Amino acid sequence: MPEHRVVVIGGGLAGLAATMKLTELGVKVDLLSLTPVKRSHSVCAQGGINSCNDATRQLGDDEWKHLDDTVYGGDFLNHQPPVKEMAYWAPKVIDLMDRLGVPFNRTGEGFIDRRRFGGTLYKRTAFAGATTGQQLLYALDEQVRRAENDGMVKKYEFWDFLAPIKDDDGRCRGAVAQDMVSMEIRAFPADAVVVATGGCGLVYGRSTMSVFCTGSAASRCFQAGAKYANGEFIQVHPTAIPGSDKLRLMSESARGEGGRVWVPRKPQDPREPKQIPENERYYFLEERYPEYGNLVPRDIATREIFDICVNDGLSVDPDKMCVYLDLTHIERSELDRKLGGILEIYEKFQGVDPRDEPMRIFPAVHYSMGGLWADYVKSDNGGLEPGAPQNHMTNIPGLYAIGECDYHYHGANRLGANSLLSCIFTGLFTGPSILNYANSQTSGGNDVPAAVIDAAVDAQKKRHQDLLNGNAGSDENPYLIHQELGDLMTRVATVVRRNDQLADALEKIQELHERAMRVNLSDTGSWTNQNVIFAKSLQDMFPLAKTILKGALQRDECRGAHFKPDFQKPSLTSDDPVERRQQAEAWCDAFEENNRKYLKSTVASWNDNTKMPDIVYEDVDTSLIPPRPRLYGLVGAEEIEKVWNERAKAAVAQ
């Protein structure tokens, strides 16, 4: 067997899992990371990782219900075969990470402890305090370091991925990257390239993502011809600490452990929160969603908090939007044992002990459900065909996308604690697929034509020099343009979206894009020049920002995180049984018609001539679980569900 080499871009959970698996299969890996691997953004994940387990099985849970919760929570925009495979792998992933030394919290009997997360009624979430991502990352990092010691991995930290290398047949033959210290630009020939670079939070200026989560790697693949899917689906997390520099996550685990969200019933009540009696507190999630309470799916909780503050005027602070997230009724020892990591973050940045005083939180941009389009091969049992070379391959042969930067698993809304699972699962599962692809090629990474490599490197060197030396007369500042971009995207494309604002933003963003291409850099040095690296990332944010805006503008519905009030389906209003039945029938008719139009993935291709994305639509595989109305908290949900179930039974009978 010939020796194979794969380039993995990104040192988070997905990239490390892929690297570990590839080296186990005898494949050598060049691992490129913007940061030291142990500082990858996965380290910021807090709450936990999902799987069906022995305790939930005793309550009637199984992997199929995990699949069902995931696609129902994602408003059925998830392709179901990948989700099924992930759900059925989940217990094995937890067992593996346990064996690799992750210090999961334990029950008194020594079993892995679990907590509930949003969108489910079962305690599926394994956790390591409130620093689960960090512990998972460190465990995988140990395995990769062992492979590195054995000569199977070469690690390149502080390297920025610039572009895939494509040959004349359009096949990916490696990557071009830049050393962020010496500024050297060089090629990494390979049999395949795996992109595992996370989300694009910096497009919004401030988010809960790390400040290096620019989306630039995915955008550079997009501009090189890879397709980008479901870009408009951006998760806004219900609970974060507003900050002037970034937004810091307060994990869903706080609510999973019994945290309660509330506001005073009196607007801007001046009393200290603990002085406000229970009957004068509005626990709005518990009242509006009695079955799920504070653990409704994230898109629902986010909109409710937004609505309470913006439309009802019940923000607890007259100067900024926020609500209380209250943990003060829980034993301090339990809080320290299970949530110590996030409590320390709040205390450090707010100067208040959340064990004694409720936290003040507000929604923040958190996750990209969309990402690079990737293929898969469906198996006979409805999951994925193990080892099929197409699994997670983009439309560019040899270029793979895994983790948050692909689009398969989360549909229109991600359930909490499914992200860590999807990252590790995709990294492990695609290893054999990548090896089989490499084995199927007649030429590999060791014999990439020199002309192909030279052309790819020269193009990036030219871009670099043009940024350093060009636009001398311009006064365009990349940091100010980025601030304008973030303000625009946050205003029009987060919790609530309106067509007039989206159309106006698309026009404004064209102008911002043109200005970004004329930036004048204050630092033209040839050593550790962060100015030029940021300018490149800024320019590459615009193709994704335009894809988000155009996809949102063209999707005239409410689905998961994409919410347009003008297209919201109404609650039932009549108390008369006959009329109420008629309203439910009409509601279901409208739901079916809406699915015929919009139960489709948005698939964008970058048009370099127009500097805009071209968008087409792709059917979603719903062959395992038929779509049904998502009815969390809707008035009349029982009647709608009754009508829908009758129709479903009639359809099966035919």
Say yes or no: 206 and 267 in one domain. Answer: no
pTM, entire model: 0.96
Q: What is the pLDDT of residue 634?
A: 85
What's the pLDDT band for 245 if we cut at 50, 70, 90? confident
- Shared domain for 20 and 126, answered yes or no, is yes
Q: Which of the listed residues 363, 397, 413 is the one where a domain comes to its end?
A: 363
**Do the Cβ atoms of 654 and 309 come closer than 8 Å?**
no
Q: How many separate domains does the chain show?
A: 4
List residues bridging with 98 in a β-sheet. Answer: none
Q: Where are the beta strands (DSSP E) in 369-422?
A: 371-372, 399-401
Same-domain pairing of 217 and 287: no
Report the pLDDT value the prediction gives residue 219, as an integer from 0 to 100. Answer: 98
Same domain, 302 and 384: no
Residue 42 has pLDDT above 80, yes or no: yes
Whether residue 241 sits in one domain with residue 206: no
Res 1: pLDDT: 56
Give 477-491 pLDDT, tens digit per residue: 999 999 999 999 999
Is residue 565 a part of any domain in this protein? no
Residue at 569 is within a domain: no
Beta strands in 51-198 (DSSP E): 114-115, 125-126, 153-157, 159-166, 172-179, 185-189, 192-195
Please give the Cα distance from 534 to 50 (Å, whole number): 35
Residue 205 within any structural domain of the chain = yes
Is residue 568 one of the residues assigned to a domain? no
Catalytic one of 220, 298, 303, 628:
298
- Mean pLDDT, residues 101-110 taken together: 96
| pLDDT value, residue 445 | 67
Digit-coded pLDDT (tens) for 148-196: 999 999 999 999 999 999 999 999 999 999 999 999 999 999 999 999 9
Q: Same domain for 122 and 148?
A: yes
Domain that holds residue 505: 456-559
pLDDT at 69: 97
Asked if the structure places residue 262 within a domain, the reply is yes
Per-residue model confidence (pLDDT) at position 318? 87
- The more confident residue out of 472 and 81 is 81
Domain shared by 318 and 429, yes or no? no
- Domain stop point among 395, 430, 449: 449
Same domain, 244 and 332: yes
Q: Which residues pair with 323 in a beta bridge?
A: 361
Tell whether 145 and 189 lie within a shared domain. yes
As a whole number of angstroms, the distance between CA 595 and CA 568 comes to 14
**Token digits of residue 129:** 């305090």
- Specify whether 264 is located in the same domain as 405: no
The pLDDT of residue 654 is 72
Residue 229's domain is classified under what CATH number? 3.50.50.60
Mean predicted confidence (pLDDT) in 378-394: 98
CATH code of residue 353: 3.90.700.10
Does residue 566 belong to any structural domain of this protein? no
Question: What does the pLDDT average to over 626-633?
Answer: 90
- Pick from 411, 417, 392: which is nearest to 196 by CA? 392
Q: What is the DSSP pairing of strand 28-33 with strand 153-157? A: parallel
How far apart CA 135 and CA 46 sit, in angstroms, is: 10
- Decide which of 559, 587, 622 is a domain's last residue: 559
pLDDT recorded at residue 619: 97
Which CATH number fits the domain that encloses residue 492?
A: 1.20.58.100
Give the mean pLDDT of the chain.
95
Q: Is residue 567 part of a domain?
A: no
Percent of the chain at pLDDT > 70 equals 100
- Tell me, what's the pLDDT at 443? 75
Structural domain includes residue 311? yes
Per-residue pLDDT reduced to its tens digit, 511-541:
999 999 999 998 889 999 999 999 999 999 9
For the question of residue 628 being annotated catalytic, the response is no
